[in-house]
A and B are shown apart, each in its own frame.
Chain A
Amino acid sequence: MEGADEELMLAYRDGNAGAFETLYGRHRARLFRFVLRSVKERGMAEELFQDVWMRVIEARGRYAPKARFTTWLYSIAHNRLIDHWRRKGLSVVSLDDDVPVASGDNPERQVEARQGLERFAKALEALPPAQREAFLMHEEAGMSVPEIAQATGAGEEAAKSRLRYAIAKLRTAVGDG
């Protein structure tokens, strides 16, 4: 089924299960990475991810497209993560062992690339949660500053400066700061 996200969600609200499947297919991977990189454990990320979608399903009857579906979806994720952070503290998932490192056959370059990625992952992990969240929403969901502001309940200026600080710190980690 084709159509804008908002139309799909409305169709699902009206009983079209196929519309949800399309919507889920579009957002599942990006939302999963957003959650995964916001929390430490993979198991917890899976639980939170599932919970976010369950809330989408439960809230379908009240859904009205006041903003982009993406903004609505990530505002639900934001609220769910706040609950999680309040209970568990703040962290980002570490770099998995199976992360692909594209650097050809040269072992030295592979090590170098791996170290670079680890440095970047640590820098991402070290970001203050609000900055990391803004960065992940921007990178994964392609959200603009006003959309990030809307999803997180922050002012636009605050969202903008969070994103800028995050990018500036990560730029240092890629050796370009």
Chain B
Amino acid sequence: MADERDPKVSQRYRELGRQEPPRHVDDAILAASRRAVRVRLAPLVPPTGRRRWYFPVAAAAIIMLSVAVTWHMQVEEGPDPNGYVASAPSPEAPKEAPAEKKIEMQAAPAAKPPPAAASRMEERARESAPVAGARAPEAAREDRVLGKISAEPPEKWLERVAALRKEGKHEEADKVLEEFRKRYPDYKIPESALKK
């Protein structure tokens, strides 16, 4: 592709000045860049002697956490319309799930036992209320929108934004779009997601 530059225009443009960012902005950006790389995992050194028990305990903790998160995600997403579970649970899931459930119930003493999967979304809102304090219902709803979509690919996010705009829910759409831009800063956003 040929260079479109016009030498006279370029020269005049250069004469406008060679402004640079101020020192404090440079410092802030470079400090942030250094902070970001400092947050790294410590090197994995095989434990010896009395610390030999670290690995099995860590492995068990990771398995427990994975099972709990998987179970929690299934609860959040609610039942499949066709009655199927989206992903096959791991063999430990049935054993671990009731224990996890018990913990959640203890954390929310005011909450009634859930009437199965049908009202699990409402249940989550009830459970989170005593923990997070008096949250506005709108905020809880927005969190739910982001929570559900956060694992989706970028295209799904934009479809969701466009759908919200069609429904006239521009505030919610803006919220999703703001979070989307943070995660995918270089992603081209179509007009349908921007237009109000």
Question: In the complex, which residues 1-57 of chain B have their Cβ closer than 8 Å to any Cβ of chain A?
Answer: 1, 3-6, 8-10, 12-13, 15-22, 25-26, 28-30, 32-34, 36-37, 40
Instruction: Give the number of residues in B that approach A within 8 Å (Cβ atoms).
Output: 38
Decide if B194 is an interface residue (CB 8 Å cutoff). yes
| Inter-chain contact A83/B181, CB cutoff 8 Å | yes
Q: With an 8 A cutoff between CB atoms, is A158 at the interface?
A: no
Contact of A12 with B37 at beta-carbon distance under 8 Å, contacts A50-B28, A167-B4, A170-B12 already known: yes
Q: Which residues of A contact B181 (CB under 8 A)?
A: 55, 79, 83
Stretch of B99-107, B114-122, B141-149, B182-190 with 4 or more beta carbons under 8 angstroms from chain A:
B182-190
Establish whether residues B29 and A15, one from each chain, have CB atoms under 8 Å apart when the complex forms: no
Q: Label chain A's interface by main secondary structure.
A: helix
> Would A174 and B9 count as touching, CB distance under 8 A?
yes
Q: Is the CB of B5 within 8 A of A138?
A: yes
B16 close to A145 (CB less than 8 A): no
Which A positions have Cβ atoms within 8 angstroms of B?
Answer: 12, 15-17, 20-21, 24, 28-29, 32-33, 36-37, 46, 49-50, 53-60, 62, 72, 75-76, 79-80, 82-83, 86, 95-96, 98-102, 113, 116-117, 120-121, 124, 138-139, 144-146, 153, 160, 163-164, 167, 170-171, 173-174, 176
* Pairs across A and B, CB under 8 Å, 29 listed: A12-B37, A17-B33, A17-B37, A20-B37, A24-B33, A32-B20, A33-B19, A36-B19, A46-B25, A50-B25, A56-B185, A57-B29, A58-B185, A76-B186, A82-B194, A95-B17, A96-B17, A100-B17, A101-B15, A117-B12, A120-B12, A120-B15, A138-B4, A144-B3, A145-B1, A153-B189, A170-B13, A171-B8, A171-B9
